[in-house]
Structure 1
Amino acid sequence: MPVFPPMYLALSGSASALADSFAPAQVSGALFALIGLYLLLMLSGVGIDLVVITRALARPLAWDRCVAWVKDRPWNWRVAGWVALILMCIQLVVVGVCRTLSVLGWLRKDEPESFYALIQGLVLHVACLVILAFILRAKAWTWGQAFGLQAQGLVRRLGEGMAFYAGILPLFFFAAVLSRLVMLIIGYPVTIQDVVLIFIEPQSLWTLLALLGLGLIIAPAAEEILFRGILLPLLMKRLGAGPAVILSSALFALIHLHVPSFFPLFVLATGLALAYIYTGSLWVPIMMHAVFNGMNLAILLLATT
């Protein structure tokens, strides 16, 4: 386990299948370089934050216009409720099927826990994307209308995602350190997240690749669509921008069910929400989410080898 803050990773795997190709010195060098990159991004983020604060003080941001971009998304509570209900039913069915097959002996008992997490994660996240694609087609909405996901300007949006990621990184790190200190002061046990334990189990190469695909591509897209793409605009229409950002970020942190990680995840989710509001494009938080997962996953995998 690396000595970095609690990580926000949707699903992923360990590097045991790939680690055999590295000598110990190579792994140490790769980890050293990755930590150096992490620190460089953090320093860049401090600079970005200072520039943003300076410009905001000199010339206020067009916040109302930015809020309108997101607030006018076509989502309503009825459609969102059906999406949530269907996903909960799918989750219950998948868990039930896996447990039933395991009891019947049709699934190998020596399979690592990540194998079942992979099945459940893939089914749930892919189902989410399929359901949303069906809804958009039925409603005659484009991905641009629903989430600001236009192909035009994609490279620019991905670059903005990298910049916003660097900007939120120092704040996330500070929140993680502060959270850790508070846990130590009050005597709350700081344990490793269950999802992190999955990554250090032995994997086949195909399982590892599937976990990586889920954690770096599928999960960031699905989760950003649900929390920032649907929930945030609905809360903004009902409560206003500020309360919507706070509430959606708190819910996002709560679903990870890990007390020491709540505050840093809340800070991260707030950054994701503000990035979406400011740019009006969900490509930006998706990129932030994917890079965040990728960086922390790489550090974890190299450190555990």
Structure 2
Amino acid sequence: MLAPAAVLSGYLAIGAGALALLREPVAATAASGAVIMVAIVLLRILKPSWVSYGPAPRPGRATLRFGLAIALCAVLAFLAGQAMGLWLYFAVGSAGYDVSNQVRESAGIWLTLLLTLAVAPAGEEALFRGLLYPLLRRRVGVVIATLITAAGFGLLHGNIVQFAAVLPLGVLLALLYERTRALWPCMCMHLGFNLAAAVVPARALVPLANPVSAALLLLAFAAAAWMLHRQITGR
């Protein structure tokens, strides 16, 4: 387990260095994400054995069934995450979330869009699904590796609202990587999630921002994710 901890420590060190150099949080996050993405993609190309693990994915039968299962899980992940995040924000507030929004607003729309729709999906997927997940899977099973990377993915966002909002997505992305062993599907799904979060107005999701709706959506996602896990692993 030392390798994943070292990877995260290195990521944080790169981010701190970028912030010290650029002195603008969004630009520093974008720069460090781009560096991480390039480094990990090169590592995967030059040293594929470092991120390989067994057993190999099951043969690609029932592609339509898998696609429908992924689509259902994606919708539930978005709704459950947004419901939990909004409910927590209304219930307890989040200074960290408020600061994050202020930082993005001060950075300007174009830099924020670059980070949200390009660098974040590519850099975060390279880090969590392209490196951390394979390193964990060499030592532990799918469920443990999925939960650890999803929790780390949520914690990276730095506040309870975004942690809750992206936690289901982190679970889904790990399962998608387990099935495909490729980064581009994870990057595309991450991009779609970020785009939906930007496009869907918060007021449309407010009716879901209560403990009952959030819990029901989370349970529905958990059930769908477990069925997807069984479809992927055959267990």
Indicate whether the TM-score tops 0.5: yes
* Superposed displacement of residue 285, structure 1: 1.6
Pairing 1:173–2:79 present: yes
The residue matched to 1:238 in structure 2 has which SS?
Answer: coil
User: Contact 1:125–1:219 at 8 Å: present in 2 too?
Assistant: yes
- Partner of 2:132 in structure 1? 231
- Residues 9-28 of structure 1, C-alpha deviations (whole Å, 9 max, x = no match): xxxxxxxxxxxxxxxxxxxx
* Superposed displacement of residue 224, structure 1: 0.8
Pairing 1:91–2:15 present: yes
The residue matched to 1:257 in structure 2 has which SS?
Answer: coil
Which structure carries more relative contact order (alpha carbon 8 Å, separation 6+)? 1
User: Contact 1:183–1:189 at 8 Å: present in 2 too?
Assistant: yes
- Partner of 1:292 in structure 2? 193
Pairing 1:135–2:43 present: yes
User: Contact 2:40–2:130 at 8 Å: present in 1 too?
Assistant: no
- Partner of 2:59 in structure 1? none
Pairing 1:122–2:122 present: no
Pairing 1:188–2:77 present: no
User: Contact 2:89–2:161 at 8 Å: present in 1 too?
Assistant: yes
- Partner of 2:173 in structure 1? 272
Within 1, Cα distance between the matches of 2:29 and 2:127? 15
Q: 2:149 aligns with which of 245, 248, 251?
A: 248
* Superposed displacement of residue 219, structure 1: 1.6
Report the number of matched residues: 190
The residue matched to 2:15 in structure 1 has which SS?
Answer: helix
* Superposed displacement of residue 282, structure 1: 2.2
Q: 2:161 aligns with which of 260, 284, 288?
A: 260
Cα distance change, pair 232–258 in 1 and its aligned pair in 2 (3 A): same
Cα distance change, pair 243–96 in 1 and its aligned pair in 2 (3 A): same
* Superposed displacement of residue 242, structure 1: 0.9
User: Contact 2:153–2:170 at 8 Å: present in 1 too?
Assistant: yes
Query: In angstroms, what is the RMSD of aligned CA positions?
Result: 3.7
Cα distance change, pair 89–175 in 1 and its aligned pair in 2 (3 A): closer
- Residues 179-203 of structure 1, C-alpha deviations (whole Å, 9 max, x = no match): 654676xx52356443333344473
TM-score, normalization: structure 2?
0.64
Cα distance change, pair 248–128 in 1 and its aligned pair in 2 (3 A): same
Pairing 1:282–2:179 present: no
* Superposed displacement of residue 236, structure 1: 2.2
Cα distance change, pair 239–182 in 1 and its aligned pair in 2 (3 A): same
User: Contact 2:176–2:186 at 8 Å: present in 1 too?
Assistant: yes
- Partner of 2:123 in structure 1? 222
5+ residue gaps, structure 2? 54-62, 205-235
Within 2, Cα distance between the matches of 1:77 and 1:277? 21
User: Contact 2:129–2:183 at 8 Å: present in 1 too?
Assistant: yes
Percent identity between the aligned chains? Answer: 23
The residue matched to 1:239 in structure 2 has which SS?
Answer: coil
Within 1, Cα distance between the matches of 2:44 and 2:144? 27
Q: 2:113 aligns with which of 212, 234, 238?
A: 212
Equivalent position amino acid for 1:195 in 2: S
* Superposed displacement of residue 173, structure 1: 1.5
Judge which range, 170-179 or 212-221, deviates more.
170-179
- Residues 184-240 of structure 1, C-alpha deviations (whole Å, 9 max, x = no match): 6xx52356443333344473xxxx334323321222111111111211122222221
The residue matched to 2:92 in structure 1 has which SS?
Answer: coil
The residue matched to 2:191 in structure 1 has which SS?
Answer: helix
Which portions of structure 1, spanning 4 or more consecutive aligned residues, are displaced by more than 4 angstroms?
80-86, 178-184, 190-193
* Superposed displacement of residue 287, structure 1: 0.8
